[in-house]
Structure 1
Amino acid sequence: MQGIVAKVRKSRQRDRIRELLEKERIHVTASWVYDQLREEFPTLSLGNVYRNLNILVRQGEVNRLPFGSTFDVYEAARKPHYHFVCERCGAIEDVAVPGSLQDQLDSLVDDASGHRLHRTTVEFHGICRACRKKATPSPDGQ
């Protein structure tokens, strides 16, 4: 029964995790979520956070972004977008591309493969502006 999400009991912790991700609009680890909520929920464990994040991912409310690092990164699910990952500092940023370009790419893949895409994940890897700025010597040589 692939594609069917089992009914999950409502949870205040899960609701707060979803609210936190929607409010912050950043890419976070489960440990970061735990650190943000542990005072509010004294019985919260890191295992609870992972379990609730996994439920939210299955429900389509949160995206898991496995960028090849030690820890998965999570974000609130919102309209499709691409990501830029800095190879030096590990920063992750959303990359805005015109929707028509994303639609064209999805359509090309659909047509070329015969598959029907439901979701697209595209990552760009390189050196972010901040790291490039640090690596560029100032005009006075410092």
Structure 2
Amino acid sequence: MPEKFSRKREALYNALRATTVHPTAEWLYAALRPEYPDLSLGTVYRNLKKFCAEGKARSVGVINGQEHFDGDTSAHSHFVCDCCGRVLDIFEPLVDTETLERIEAEHGFTITKEDLLFGGVCAECKEKSKNKTA
């Protein structure tokens, strides 16, 4: 029998799934607080951790001191801008089956997921930097 979501938990999950900004717990808390004034930041953190443990969300990692989350659990990687901290999705397959099989054979692994994280400067920050020097 599936677990029954509380209204707050369901709202949190829906907010996470509805955004592509890879939010922090604080971002979700601020977004939901007007509708749920008794919502606590602790509740947001607990539920995000639970969503991740259940495979309903995933952590993108700590960026600028705050953990970011992704409600899209489809196979994809991420790019994090070193300047603005924005997290962007990369949906193109980046590692072919042959490479994964070779890695498994060489190291004795069984690979069950691929989650690459790239860092650099996003197009918007690159453009801003170009305009400052022009």
Bucket of the pairwise TM-score, normalised by the shorter protein = 0.7 to 0.9
Paired residues for 1:43-122 under 5 Å: 43-98=38-93, 101-122=95-116
Contact map agreement 1:84 1:92 (CA 8 A) in 2: yes
Distance across 2 between alignment mates of 1:106 and 1:14: 37
| C-alpha distance 11-102 of structure 1, shift in aligned 2 (>3 A) | farther
User: Does 2:116 correspond to 1:125?
Assistant: no
Please report the TM-score for the alignment, with normalisation by the length of structure 1: 0.81
Distance across 2 between alignment mates of 1:11 and 1:58: 18
Please report the TM-score for the alignment, with normalisation by the length of structure 2: 0.85
User: Is the deviation greater in 26-35 or in 117-126?
Assistant: 117-126
- Post-superposition CA distance 1:37-92 (Å, at most 9, x none): 11211110111100111111111101012145311000114211111111111111
> For 1:66, what is the secondary structure of its paired residue?
strand
- Post-superposition CA distance 1:76-132 (Å, at most 9, x none): 142111111111111110112237x45444333222211112222211111110111
Partner residue in 2 for 1:39: 34
Please provide the CA RMSD for this pair.
2.2
> For 2:80, what is the secondary structure of its paired residue?
strand
Contact map agreement 1:14 1:53 (CA 8 A) in 2: no
> For 2:113, what is the secondary structure of its paired residue?
coil
Partner residue in 2 for 1:4: none
In structure 2, runs of 5+ residues without a counterpart are none
1:121 is aligned with what amino acid?
D
In structure 1, runs of 5+ residues without a counterpart are 1-6
Shift of 1:34: 0.3
